[in-house]
């Protein structure tokens, strides 16, 4: 997809990366085989050239060779699979970066374990089909941008990935100043609970089901007059069928202004039972001064040793009780709000990462040949990829003619 910052955290992440490179003086071209949508961002407003490209087509070779980029960033491993070998063929000196967003194999392995009603184990990753593709993509690239320190450790310990191929780059945010903090809607003006998340993302759909079946009835029993508003882009018919006004369970669909919706709510609920990466909905809650209740999966790698901006629990009853307490207790809610402010300002400020990231890029560009020699497994995969994926793509290209 083209970036849709109002639809998903991934869209916001991409704009943050664009801003990061623009600040360093780069000219940026964003190329995608995706169809245009009504919700995509206007890239021209960010000074970015937009280019539509085709899968399995030599036209990309002409395009990228003429462009001759110094840096190429792949948006998730699927794009590297499709276009990485063409970039290597036509622009061998270009630095190849991979933005993983989250570790897809981790999310899918956890999802599989959940559906099989068993605990996830790291050994599950070894049998996850996507892991083979994703790890190969990481190895073929010069550097992979990781949003989660937990996932970096998983890659280095479980898959033995060289740390030199990984770089921790979380969400890049502006600080929450005292004046901004004072402008947050106060506790008394906020009402109701909210869940927000793109329904194309399976963990979000599962979380809404969990809310409907197990958690919301427990909350509603204690707060019979309070509603839960469910927002999310691309809701399917099965999502819309959960709309139950008499139960205070309201499916609202896409939020035109997500931060406005979250800022008006008193508590964000995010009972995620599987997933990976850093959760944009919970970052957004902190940015809006809204308390949140989530699971250990939801809060994973997000707050370090800092206290959470609400509560973290995997028990449905405790989840409901914590949500009710935050909803009713002004003092507890203010403490949670302050915790969120602290997490943002200590862990996610763009200023904390800009200088070091630029140094890393410059270092790799100056030492690219040696860096690639050291990455033997990456070179080996490049060799085999150029002998298999390349010719499969050529075959499809010829077939399409």
Which architecture, in CATH terms, is 178-347?
Answer: 3-Layer(aba) Sandwich (3.40)
Question: What's the Cα-to-Cα distance from 205 to each of 145, 148, 160, 202, rounded to whole Å?
Answer: 27, 22, 33, 5
Cα end-to-end span (Å), the chain:
26
Element (H, E) at 366: helix 354-366
Q: Characterize 108-136 residue by residue with b for buried, 16 or more Cβ atoms within 10 angstroms of its Cβ, and e for exposed.
A: bbbbeebeeeeebeeebbeebebbebbbb
Q: Characterize 267-297 residue by residue with b for buried, 16 or more Cβ atoms within 10 angstroms of its Cβ, and e for exposed.
A: bbbbbbbbbbbbbbbbbbbbbbbbbbbbbeb
pLDDT at 386 over 60: no
Q: pTM for the full model?
A: 0.91
Work out the pLDDT band at 385, boundaries 50, 70, 90: low
Write the pLDDT tens digit of every residue in 82-119. Answer: 999 999 999 999 999 999 999 999 999 999 999 999 99
At residue 379, the pLDDT reads 83
CA-closest candidate to residue 266, choices 317, 223, 221: 223
| Alpha carbon distance 349, 175 (integer Å) | 6
Burial class (CB in 10 A: 0-12, 13-18, 19+), 366: exposed
Q: Classify 304 in phi/psi space as left (phi over 0), alpha (psi -120 to 50) or beta.
A: left
DSSP letter assigned to residue 215? I
pLDDT at 391 over 70: no
Looking at the chain, the whole-number percentage of residues with pLDDT higher than 70 is 98
Q: Which residue bears the tokens 């209740």?
A: 293
Write the pLDDT tens digit of every residue in 230-258. Answer: 999 999 999 999 999 999 999 999 898 88
Write the pLDDT tens digit of every residue in 53-92. Answer: 999 999 999 999 999 999 999 999 999 999 999 999 999 9
Write the pLDDT tens digit of every residue in 272-330. Answer: 999 999 999 999 999 999 999 999 999 999 999 999 999 999 999 999 999 999 999 99
Contacts of 49 (CB under 8 A, 6+ apart): 27, 28, 29, 30, 43
Q: Which residue bears the tokens 């699971």?
A: 295
The ranges of the chain annotated as CATH 3.40.50.2000 are: 178-347
CA-closest candidate to residue 291, choices 268, 321, 258: 268
* C-alpha neighbours within 13 Å on the C-beta side of residue 132: 4
**Which class would CATH give 53-172+351-400?**
alpha beta
Contacts of 330 (CB under 8 A, 6+ apart): 187, 188
Sign of CA dihedral 199, 202, 203, 207: positive
| Alpha carbon distance 296, 250 (integer Å) | 26
| Average pLDDT of the chain, as a whole number | 94
At residue 388, the pLDDT reads 63
């Amino acid at each position: 997809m083209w970036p849709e910052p109002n639809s998903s955290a991934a869209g916001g992440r991409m704009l943050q990366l664009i801003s990061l490179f623009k600040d360093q003086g780069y000219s940026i071209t964003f190329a995608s085989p995706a169809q245009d949508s009504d919700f995509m961002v206007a890239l021209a407003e960010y000074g970015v050239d937009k280019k539509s490209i085709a899968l399995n087509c030599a036209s990309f070779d002409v395009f990228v060779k003429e462009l001759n980029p110094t840096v190429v960033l792949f948006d998730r491993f699927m794009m590297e699979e499709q276009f990485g070998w063409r970039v290597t063929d036509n622009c061998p000196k270009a630095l190849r970066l991979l933005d993983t967003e989250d570790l897809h194999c981790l999310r899918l392995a956890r999802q599989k374990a959940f559906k099989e009603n068993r605990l996830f184990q790291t050994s599950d990753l070894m049998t996850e089909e996507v892991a083979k593709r994703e790890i190969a993509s990481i190895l073929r690239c010069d550097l992979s941008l990781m949003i989660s320190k937990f996932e970096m450790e998983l890659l280095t310990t479980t898959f033995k990935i060289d740390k030199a191929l990984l770089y921790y780059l979380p969400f890049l945010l502006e600080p929450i100043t005292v004046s901004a903090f004072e402008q947050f809607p106060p506790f008394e003006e906020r009402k109701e609970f909210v869940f927000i998340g793109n329904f194309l993302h399976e963990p979000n759909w599962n979380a809404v089901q969990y809310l409907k079946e197990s958690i919301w009835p427990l909350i509603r029993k204690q707060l019979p007059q309070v509603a839960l508003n469910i927002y999310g882009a691309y809701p399917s018919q099965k999502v819309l069928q959960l709309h139950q006004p008499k139960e205070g369970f309201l499916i609202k669909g896409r939020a035109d202004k997500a931060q406005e919706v979250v800022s008006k709510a008193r508590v964000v609920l995010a009972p995620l039972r599987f997933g990976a990466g850093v959760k944009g909905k919970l970052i957004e809650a902190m940015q809006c001064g809204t308390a949140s209740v989530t699971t250990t999966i939801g809060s994973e790698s997000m707050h370090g040793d800092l206290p959470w901006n609400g509560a973290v629990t995997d028990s449905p009853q405790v989840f409901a009780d914590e949500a009710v307490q935050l909803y009713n207790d002004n003092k507890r809610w203010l403490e949670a709000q302050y915790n969120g402010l602290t997490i943002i300002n200590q862990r996610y400020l763009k200023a904390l990462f800009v200088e070091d990231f630029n140094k890393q890029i410059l270092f790799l560009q100056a030492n690219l040949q040696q860096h690639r020699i050291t990455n033997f497994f990456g070179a080996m995969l490049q060799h085999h990829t150029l002998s298999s994926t390349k010719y499969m793509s050529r075959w499809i290209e010829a077939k399409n003619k």
